Amino acid sequence: MNHQNIVLVMGCAIVLAGCKPASDALERQEETTGEEAPAKAAIPEDLDLVILNGRVMDPETKLDAVRNVGVKDGKIVAVTDEAIEGTETIDASGHVVAPGFIDLHVHGQDPYAVKLLLRDGVTTPLEIEAGAWPVEDYYDERKGKSQANYGASVAHVWARLAAMDKVDPKGLGLYSGAINASAHDGAKWSKDRSSPEQLEQIMANVEQGLRQGGLGIGFPIGYYTAVGSPEVDTVAGLAKRYNTFITTHVRYLSNIPPSGYLGLEELLAVATANEVPLLVHHVPSNCLGQTPQCLDLIDKARSAGFKVAAEFYPYTFGSSIIGADYLGPGFQERTGMDYQDITYVKTGEKMTKALLAKYRKQDPGGMMIMHHIKEPDMLAAFSRPGVFVGSDGVPFEDDKGGIPAWDAPYGVGKGHPRGAGTHAKVLRLVREKSVVPLMEAIAKLSYLQAQFLEDTVPDMKHRGRLKPGAIADITIFDPATVTDNAGSDEGKNSLPSTGIPYVIVNGTIVVKDSKVLKGVYPGQPIRNAVQN
Ligand SMILES: [Zn+2]
């Protein structure tokens, strides 16, 4: 069916004069099924943008051929081997023309972080793991001011913090601010079970977020392992009632019982029992040496017909808040790390017993980097069919611990390099290590994420594809040179990726000749319908 669509458009180009207007023709194509006579599609003559002579790769139809791509009114209207013209022209010779990358796991939602993500080929960076709350504020703050598409799940964690610690996350930084503020109240959100009254308030907060159009429920209970089963069940039940999904950072970052594997079993059980889709973030980060077994379990659930997805980032080190539950006493035995495997981002210090205790008390929301994943486990997730990429990019910090401004120089941001280099690194590893074929890698960077969301977020049916009718989120890269440049050394954490000269968001060029254009805000909200 999808192959047919492309052939139809190309076929129509040959008989251009007799064709119907494209929008009409595209609708007719979608209605075409099975043996019916194919509808003919026209390529409009007044295209806004044409991308010529690129290697078009579409992970849905598996088209992999040199084609010209025509864009009009924010949509792809032609993928053809005929000559086409438009108001703007990109020569993509020698480059791959792919669907814009979709990242469901982006904590750095500020303009500097988004600028780096665009350089890394990401057109849709969503905050799905931790989420946002209040959801309305998240969307209002970005309306008309975002260079990339934006969206967030409902943050169970902030709904819990607001209910249990009486901290209003509004106006506070997603990480340090809210978490450090809650520390004055004993950080009940992370340490306590909820009382029945608190649980009622938490769920009212989460429900408000769903009614404000939040995408599913972000449920990172690995940061509050004291949470009781009644709360876990209630979250899954609410997701079911709203016909939406749960995403999770599972309980326990541990090789020994209670292990990450056990944490995965818990979430699989509640998700499948309630028949709600589940996204398991960064599997190697929680499952550690049991990563293949965790992936097997997820595969079994998928084979049984449940909608369960798994994600990884292409690094052997992670980053989060230094006050994280899993860095409590005994972390060495659980994770295989020692103090020197943990770095405090603000000062660059490697931890000792005393330093770790000091920063966990003084700045529990401050960022750390930890080396806890073995490369074979990361590669096991990378090569597993159906497992997709999520950067888990966290906000970069400047020298003063603030977030760099949009026009701050590349490289000044301190933090985990995954916020800048994840997607180009995946493409580099495909070139250097042949981890998976390039088409599969592109699916892991775009199409699989759209597929996970599209049942509950209809807009995503039209993203993550490079075919007529799809929304024109497009990433153009040179497969021979594309590379990450961000690394762990000082001054290199936030260096932009290279070899991705053009990025197009909703039909508008936002990266041109490898430069992010200033003041161009084509980003659209990815949001469910708001209910009153
Ligand atoms: Zn996480």
Compute the distance from residue 26 Cα to the ligand 1 centre, in Å. 40
Compute the distance from residue 219 Cα to the ligand 1 centre, in Å. 10
Model pLDDT, residue 41: 67
Signed CA dihedral, 108, 113, 116, 117: sign only: positive
Model pLDDT, residue 38: 46
Distance CA 453, CA 123 (A): 16
- Contact predicate 206/132, CB 8 Å: no
Compute the distance from residue 153 Cα to the ligand 1 centre, in Å. 14
pLDDT (tens, 9 = 90+) of the chain, 532 residues, equals: 333 333 222 323 222 223 333 333 333 344 444 444 444 568 888 999 999 999 999 999 999 999 999 999 999 999 999 999 999 999 999 999 999 999 999 999 999 999 999 999 999 999 999 999 999 999 999 999 999 999 999 999 999 999 999 888 775 555 567 777 787 777 888 899 999 999 999 999 999 999 999 999 999 999 999 899 999 999 999 999 999 999 999 999 999 999 999 999 999 999 999 999 999 999 999 999 999 999 999 999 999 999 999 999 999 999 889 999 899 999 999 999 999 999 998 899 999 999 999 999 999 988 899 999 999 999 999 999 999 999 999 999 999 888 999 999 999 999 999 999 999 999 999 999 999 999 999 999 999 999 999 999 999 999 999 999 999 999 999 999 999 999 999 999 999 999 999 999 999 999 999 999 999 999 999 999 999 7
Compute the distance from residue 105 Cα to the ligand 1 centre, in Å. 8
Compute the distance from residue 336 Cα to the ligand 1 centre, in Å. 18
Sequence letter at residue 487: G
What is the SS3 assignment for 295-345?
Answer: HHHHHHHHHCCCCEEEEECCCCEEEEECCCHHHCCCHHHHHCCCHHHEEEC
Compute the distance from residue 181 Cα to the ligand 1 centre, in Å. 21
357: Cβ–Cβ under 8 A, 6 or more apart, which residues? none
Compute the distance from residue 515 Cα to the ligand 1 centre, in Å. 30
Compute the distance from residue 498 Cα to the ligand 1 centre, in Å. 27
Identify the H or E element spanning 177. Answer: helix 176-183
Q: What are the DSSP calls for 425-475, one per residue? A: HHHHHHHHH--S-HHHHHIIIIIHHHHHHHTT-GGGGGSS--STTSB--EE
For the entire predicted model, the pTM comes to 0.90
The C-alpha angle 176, 187, 349, rounded to 5 degrees, equals: 45
User: Dihedral angle at the C-alpha atoms of 118, 123, 128, 133, nearest 10 degrees?
Assistant: 80
Compute the distance from residue 221 Cα to the ligand 1 centre, in Å. 9
Residue 73, both tokens: 């009114």
Compute the distance from residue 291 Cα to the ligand 1 centre, in Å. 15
Compute the distance from residue 472 Cα to the ligand 1 centre, in Å. 30
Compute the distance from residue 508 Cα to the ligand 1 centre, in Å. 32
Q: Is 525 exposed, middle or buried (0-12, 13-18, 19+ CB in 10 A)?
A: middle
Alpha helices by DSSP H, 320-413:
331-335, 353-362, 375-383
Of 490, 525, 408, which Cα lies nearest the Cα of 116?
Answer: 408
Place of tokens 């995403």: 247
Sequence letter at residue 348: G
- Contact predicate 421/484, CB 8 Å: yes
Distance CA 444, CA 386 (A): 7
Sequence letter at residue 178: A
Compute the distance from residue 253 Cα to the ligand 1 centre, in Å. 10
Distance CA 147, CA 522 (A): 6
Compute the distance from residue 393 Cα to the ligand 1 centre, in Å. 10
Identify the H or E element spanning 201. Answer: helix 196-211
Compute the distance from residue 224 Cα to the ligand 1 centre, in Å. 12
Model pLDDT, residue 469: 97
